[in-house]
Amino acid sequence: MHRASIRSRLLAGAAASATLAALVAAVPAGAAPPASADAAAAPVAAALGDLDTDGEYTQRFLELYDKIHDPANGYFSDQGIPYHAVESLMVEAPDNGHETTSEAYSFWLWLETSYGQVTGDWEPFNDAWATLEAYMIPTTENQPTNGAYDPGSPATYAAEHNHPSGYPSELDSGVTVGSDPLAGELSQTYGTDEIYGMHWLADVDNVYGYGAAPGSGELLGPDHEGTSYINTFQRGPEESVWETIPQPSIDDFSYGGEFGYLDLFTADPQPAKQWKYTNAPDADARAVEAAYWANKFATEQGQPEAVAETVGKAAKMGDYLRYSLFDKYFKTPGCDSPSCPAGSGRDSAHYLLSWYYAWGGALDEQAPWAWRIGSSHAHFGYQNPMAAWALANDPDLVPDSATADDDWSKSLDRQVELFQWLQSPEGGIAGGATNSWDGAYAERPAGTSTFYGMAYDEAPVYHDPPSNEWFGMQGWGVERIAQLYHETGDERAKDILDSWVPWVISHITVSEDDWQIPSNIAWTGQPDTWDPENPGDNSGLSVEVTGYGQDVGVAGALARTLMYYAAASGDTQAQQVSHDLLDALWTQSSDPLGVATTETRGDYGRFDDVLTEPDGDGVYVPEGWSGTMPNGDVIEPGVSFIDIRSFLRDDPEWDKVQAHLDGGPEPEFTYHRFWAQTAVATALADYDRLFGDVVEPPEDVEAPTAPQDLTATADGTTVELSWTASTDDVRVTGYDVTRDGEVVAGVGGTTISFTDAGLEESTEYTYAVTAHDAAGNVSAASDAVTVTTGEGEVDPPAGACTAELSIANSWSGGYQGAITVTGGGEGVQGWQVTVPDGLTTSNMWGGRLADGVVTPESWNADLGADQTATVGFIGNGAAPAAQELDCTGTVPAG
């Protein structure tokens, strides 16, 4: 599946919620954002001559910054709102590129933070927050009935369902919900019952025509010229963006069906007109994180007052962000049925940044009511321990509420522990945890591992595509761990990075004319149940990289993560890889608008998908339900994504999609996502800041120590080798195994064993092992060991396994391939696959290649009947044809 479709639901805060909703803002419709008080009162910015702007990477940052801010390039609307992308025909989390997200705003704050650090000018940072406050945080008019909210009864329970066809979901007042411990404190602290948090999605140009405008309590319709709050995801983990029905966040029944859009989601015989918003906590946390760094940089420049008011607003946002630390219906962790205990006080807190929090209420102020919920689902990629640390420890960011610093202190520890719990032996971080199995507090499958009572969930929140398949979550999540390590020296963060960094580096390829990073990953197994006093080794959890690509935003995040780690640890290899990746992005992927690469969008074949099976793909509309969009598009059973978004047919790039729908090739697009440009830009600014004048990493000339204690054991015609790991001043990146003086295998730097199979009977062999590092320094050889094989074994029976070679993509001088091994009717214990003559690789994962034979890793050697294992690799030269390969193995006894 294409990379962009894999991230197509990263921001869907309400994806699995039965009662959630849409957008937010804060000024009268069409008004310009208010000038920041800081901008007016700030002292004169530090002169450019007082700051070092001459560095090569700083100059690149400023060049990219100018491209992003050039009105001709189209990154911002006429109101000064950042679009999700320059291009409008785009479907991923937003369903067109000219929507915006709280994610985009948070990245914009980061961009202006870097600009302030480089130039000393903090007015753009303050203006970015003012725009965020004006257009993404609901005003009093947008959330008018919060005063009727009852913290003792936050919301009425409605189960989530695994497929959209399970909706509308029945409201069930018989399920007890817990009490909200935050509402009273927040109201007392700020003198209001309103929520200070961003809604996640807005229709910047009011293309849909709802006119759910900032500062309005009703829909202003298609004539409104300005941004409009909308929502899409509402119906469980299988609701892909391709299956959503866009709705306004203010539903006054002007559009849709008899009751607007409300009865598509919850079953209420007489729903009231209402407002509803959904917060994406990772975006608010990223905004707080940016404010921390802005305050740090401005203080170092001697002008903390330049950002003080905005930093205070970030602290306030962090106060309300605590709603994401609680279970959806304020139930206690460990819940495995709807009747599980309701919480009171802090016993409903899981202290993780969950997938969303949401709030809503009646539009009718004469019959007021309101609700609030947290979320039971937590993805590691949403965690932000750096923001938690700042909210708990930075005097300028600790929120005003009495219990906020304690909540964030607990959250910091819990978030770091989540990373530790989810880390695989290879280094990658797995999905997350839930307190509400199947979104309905269902009983967890037997044997499911847990984290403080929450159940392990490989793909939290959404499954089409799986939420931890997109590699960008690794960059987003671990970047914050790296910042925490850099700022605080947290040893837990260092331990996580010490394992993660080598794994990531081993999958990054940079040459003079090409670069590749992972795009997709796949998971098997699960972590051990978490015991903070005695963490397990997670030997039953494993990850493999299943695809590579050129996502410039993810590359920027990876470079930034590696450089924070390198700056804190002195790891020259991590600095070198970040340096090379940034250079490749700049020299190979720059264009007049920014940094971008061409993407093939096979997922665009879903534009005209129609639901044909009860649990299939396509837009689900309940039988008998009908309604209309503001432009007249009909919503009824049998419609497709494009049927209720006919305006997309007028897009100048639509012809490419239509040609594909008519049977032509998959369309290609070049996209300039706002967040991706910012990820690259801020990495460029950080490189000069972190490494100063020494932009080239110091040369590594020290070789690893020789491997020790090499042993060899023969079993028939197979020899098992093991040795004690070498050490290096930077890092051991691999070992070469020689047999009778010839290299027969290479293994990764964390592997200290090798299996040599298929040898001659009754033959003497001599082995040795050398270690090498990333700079190519090679150790002395280990002491040699000699072993004699025994008699040959009977050939494994035919049918123990099958294997198939496939080619994912190719380029000049190389290609990406995969070997899929399938267990036969009785399964297989141990297997080996003979590859085409002459096949060589520069990188292989999930198996080992030696003498034309691929053998498994320990974790994928045994396969059940029809169970598969995938060995991926980067091949050298021209790709062979896809074909079946010879596979042999042992059928399990009995």
Separation of CA 878 from chain center:
33
> 718: which 2 tokens?
């197979």
Closest CA to 311 of 333, 296, 327: 296
Cβ burial of 612 (10 Å; 0-12, 13-18, 19+) is exposed
Strand segments (E) across 374-513: 377-379, 432-434, 450-451, 454-457, 509-510
Measure the CA–CA gap between 536 and 383, rounded to whole angstroms.
Answer: 22
Query: Reduced to 3 states, what is the DSSP secondary structure of residue 143?
Result: coil
Query: Reduced to 3 states, what is the DSSP secondary structure of residue 472?
Result: helix
Measure the CA–CA gap between 302 and 43, rounded to whole angstroms.
Answer: 10
Measure the CA–CA gap between 256 and 212, rounded to whole angstroms.
Answer: 14
CB 577 within 8 A of CB 503: no
CB 330 within 8 A of CB 176: no
Closest CA to 249 of 101, 143, 329: 143
CB 700 within 8 A of CB 775: yes
Cβ burial of 275 (10 Å; 0-12, 13-18, 19+) is buried
Active site annotation includes 282: yes
Closest CA to 672 of 79, 73, 114, 132: 73
Measure the CA–CA gap between 793 and 805, rounded to whole angstroms.
Answer: 27
CB 549 within 8 A of CB 811: no
Measure the CA–CA gap between 513 and 493, rounded to whole angstroms.
Answer: 34
**Alpha helices in 308-446, H assignment, sequence order:** 308-320, 385-393, 404-422
CB 425 within 8 A of CB 538: yes
Catalytic residue selected from 103, 121, 284, 319: 103
Catalytic residue selected from 141, 193, 238, 282: 282
442 φ/ψ angles, rounded to the nearest 5 degrees: -75, 165
Angle between helices 56-69 and 674-691 (to 10 degrees): 160
Q: What is the sign, positive or negative, of the torsion defined by CA atoms of 779, 498, 536, 432? A: negative
What is the DSSP code (8-state) at residue 525? Answer: E
Where in the sequence numbering do the catalytic residues fall?
Answer: 103, 282
